[in-house]
C-alpha cells in the first residue's frame, strides 16, 4: 500500500492508496474504533454498489455502523440537506465521538466534511473517494463546503479528515467521461509542479485504455499533499492549484453546472491559461504547444456555442478576486506555476479565442 503523509502538525493524516483496499478497510480502521457510532454518508447508487457491503463488513468487524443516504448531484451540497442530515444524526443519537465516512465523489466529500466540521462543533471524518476527481483532489486538503443559490461553495470551512482511503479499483464502475474529466486535474498537477510527470502523462495518454490510474493517483496525491502542507488555508502557494480554474469555473457557471464536467472545464481553462502564459513571455511557444498537445489527447466533450461575454461576467465575480485584482495562475515554464495579478480582462477575453 502506498502511504502519503499530509504534514499539518496536529492535523496531520495519511493518504492510503491500494487497489482492492475497500475490502480490507475494517482492518485498517480498527485502531480508530473505540466503540463509537460510525456513519457512512453516501448516494443511493454508491450505497448499492459498495456502501451496503462496506457497512456489513464493518458490522462484522465490531463497528457500530449505519448509513445515511444523501441525494445525487450538486443539490446535495445545500442547507436543506445539511440540516436534514444533522437532524438525522441527532435522532440516531450521534455525539461528539461519532465518526463519519464520506463514501463518494466530491459532492459527498464536501458535504460530509462540512457536517463533520460543524456537528457538535466538530467530529472526526474519513474520506473514501470514489471518483477520480475526488481521489486526486477534493478528498485531500480539508476544504469543505455547501452551496448557496448565489454561488457554489460559498459556505464552508477548512477541516481536515483523519485519513483518506483510496481504492483505485472503484474507478471501474465510474463512467468513462468522469474518468476523462478527472485526468484533466491530473494534467494540472504536472503542469504546475512537475514537468517530467507532465511528459510521462503525455505518453500515457497515447494509450488511454491502459492509462495507469494507480500511478497517476499516487503522483497527484503526493503533489497535492505537499502543496497543502505548505499552505493549508490557501494564503498563497495553494492558489496554484487553481491553474485552469478561472476560466474553468466561469465556463461551468455559465453553463449552469450542467453542461460541462469540472475536470473538462479545467482542461479548457488550462488551454487559455497556457496561451496567456505565452503572451506574457512566461512560456515559450514549444512549451505552450506541448501543454496544448497533452490536453488535446484527452477526448474531452466539445464545447457548445458560448457567448464569451457571459463567461467574462462570471470571471469578474470570481472569489479569487482579491483587493480588486484577479489572481491568475500562469506557468513560468512547464512544471512551474506563478501567480500574477497583472492580467487584464482584455487579455483574458482574447484568450477565450483559443477555445470558443
Ligand X SMILES: NC(=O)c1ccc[n+]([C@@H]2O[C@H](COP(=O)([O-])OP(=O)(O)OC[C@H]3O[C@@H](n4cnc5c(N)ncnc54)[C@H](O)[C@@H]3O)[C@@H](O)[C@H]2O)c1
Binder among 61, 66, 153, 280 for ligand X (CB under 6 A): 153
137 binds ligand X (CB under 6 A): yes
Judged by CB, which is closer to ligand X: 45, or 293?
A: 45
Q: How far is the CB of 141 from ligand X (least distance, A)?
A: 5
Query: How many residues belong to the site for ligand X (CB under 6 A)?
Result: 27
289 binds ligand X (CB under 6 A): no
Binder among 22, 170, 192, 217 for ligand X (CB under 6 A): 170
Set of cell numbers at residue 64:
457500530
Region 65-84 residues binding ligand X, contact defined as CB under 6 A:
72, 74, 77
Which residue stretch of 6-14, 58-66, 130-138, 326-334 sits at the interface with ligand X (rule: CB under 6 A)?
A: 130-138
The candidate with the shortest Cα–Cα distance to 157, out of 107, 118, 124, is 118
Q: Give dist(CA 242, CA 258) in Å, integer.
A: 21
Q: How far is the CB of 134 from ligand X (least distance, A)?
A: 4
Backbone angles phi, psi at 2, to 5 degrees: -85, 130
Q: How far is the CB of 207 from ligand X (least distance, A)?
A: 23
Which residue stretch of 92-100, 102-110, 270-278, 345-353 sits at the interface with ligand X (rule: CB under 6 A)?
A: 102-110
Judged by CB, which is closer to ligand X: 16, or 143?
A: 143
Long-range contacts of 311-315 (CB under 8 A, 24+ apart): 311/247, 311/250, 311/251, 311/254, 311/352, 311/356, 312/250, 312/345, 312/348, 312/349, 312/352, 314/249, 314/250, 314/253, 314/254, 315/246, 315/247, 315/250, 315/345, 315/348
174 binds ligand X (CB under 6 A): yes
- Which residues form the catalytic set? 121, 143, 185, 224, 234, 238, 242, 245, 249, 262
Q: Give dist(CA 263, CA 180) in Å, integer.
A: 8
Which residue stretch of 89-97, 168-176, 222-230, 245-253 sits at the interface with ligand X (rule: CB under 6 A)?
A: 168-176
Angstrom CA distances, 248 to 60, 188, 267, stand at 44, 12, 7
Which residue stretch of 120-128, 158-166, 169-177, 271-279 sits at the interface with ligand X (rule: CB under 6 A)?
A: 169-177
Q: At what angle do helices 262-279 and 245-254 cross, to 10 degrees?
A: 130
242 binds ligand X (CB under 6 A): no
43 binds ligand X (CB under 6 A): yes
Judged by CB, which is closer to ligand X: 182, or 190?
A: 182
Q: Give dist(CA 174, CA 20) in Å, integer.
A: 15
Q: Around 188, how many Cα atoms within 13 Å sit in the side-chain half-sphere?
A: 31
255 binds ligand X (CB under 6 A): no
244 with 264: CB under 8 angstroms? no
Which residue stretch of 18-26, 107-115, 226-234, 280-288 sits at the interface with ligand X (rule: CB under 6 A)?
A: 107-115
Q: How many helices (H) and strands (E) does the chain have?
A: 14, 13
303 binds ligand X (CB under 6 A): no
Judged by CB, which is closer to ligand X: 186, or 283?
A: 186
User: What is the chain's percent helix, strand, coil content, to nearest 5?
Assistant: 55, 20, 30
42 binds ligand X (CB under 6 A): no
143 binds ligand X (CB under 6 A): yes
Binder among 17, 40, 89, 110 for ligand X (CB under 6 A): 110
Three-state DSSP class for 36? Answer: coil
Transcribe 90-129 into DSSP letters: HHTT--TT-EEEEEESHHHHHHHHHHHHHGGG--EEEEEE
Binding site for ligand X (CB under 6 A): 43, 45-46, 72, 74, 77, 104-108, 110, 130-131, 133-134, 137-138, 141, 143, 152-153, 170, 173-174, 178, 262
Amino acid at each position: 500500500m502506498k502511504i502519503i503523509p499530509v504534514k499539518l502538525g496536529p492535523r496531520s493524516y495519511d493518504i492510503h492508496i491500494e487497489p482492492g483496499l475497500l475490502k480490507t478497510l475494517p482492518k485498517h480502521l480498527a485502531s480508530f474504533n473505540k466503540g463509537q457510532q460510525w456513519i457512512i454518508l453516501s448516494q443511493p447508487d454508491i450505497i448499492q454498489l459498495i456502501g451496503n457491503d462496506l457497512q456489513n463488513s464493518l458490522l462484522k468487524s465490531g463497528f457500530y455502523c449505519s448509513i445515511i443516504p444523501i441525494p445525487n448531484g450538486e443539490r446535495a451540497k445545500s442547507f436543506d440537506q445539511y440540516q436534514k442530515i444533522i437532524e438525522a444524526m441527532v435522532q440516531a443519537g450521534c455525539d461528539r465521538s461519532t465518526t463519519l465516512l464520506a463514501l463518494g465523489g466530491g459532492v459527498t466529500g464536501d458535504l460530509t466534511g462540512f457536517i463533520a466540521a460543524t456537528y457538535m462543533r466538530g467530529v472526526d471524518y474519513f474520506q473514501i473517494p470514489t471518483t477520480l476527481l475526488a481521489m486526486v483532489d477534493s478528498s485531500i486538503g480539508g476544504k469543505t463546503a455547501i452551496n448557496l443559490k448565489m454561488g457554489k461553495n460559498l459556505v464552508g470551512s477548512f477541516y481536515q479528515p483523519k485519513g483518506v482511503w483510496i481504492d483505485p479499483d472503484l474507478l471501474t464502475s465510474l463512467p468513462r467521461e468522469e474518468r476523462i474529466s478527472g485526468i484533466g486535474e491530473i494534467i494540472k498537477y504536472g503542469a504546475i509542479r512537475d514537468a517530467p510527470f507532465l511528459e510521462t502523462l503525455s505518453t500515457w495518454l497515447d494509450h488511454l485504455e491502459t492509462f495507469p490510474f494507480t500511478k497517476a493517483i499516487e503522483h497527484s496525491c503526493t503533489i497535492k499533499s505537499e502543496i497543502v502542507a505548505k499552505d493549508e488555508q490557501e494564503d498563497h502557494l495553494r492558489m496554484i492549484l487553481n491553474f485552469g480554474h478561472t476560466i474553468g469555473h466561469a465556463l461551468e457557471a455559465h453553463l449552469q453546472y450542467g453542461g460541462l464536467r469540472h475536470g473538462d472545464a479545467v482542461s479548457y481553462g488550462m488551454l487559455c491559461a497556457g496561451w496567456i502564459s505565452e503572451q506574457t513571455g512566461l512560456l515559450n511557444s514549444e512549451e505552450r504547444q506541448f501543454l496544448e498537445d497533452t490536453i488535446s489527447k484527452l477526448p474531452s466533450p466539445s464545447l457548445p456555442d458560448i457567448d464569451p461575454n457571459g463567461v467574462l461576467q462570471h470571471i469578474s465575480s470570481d472569489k479569487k478576486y482579491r483587493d480588486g485584482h484577479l489572481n491568475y495562475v500562469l506557468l513560468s515554464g512547464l512544471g512551474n506555476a506563478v501567480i500574477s495579478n497583472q492580467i487584464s480582462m482584455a487579455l483574458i477575453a482574447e484568450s477565450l479565442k483559443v477555445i470558443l
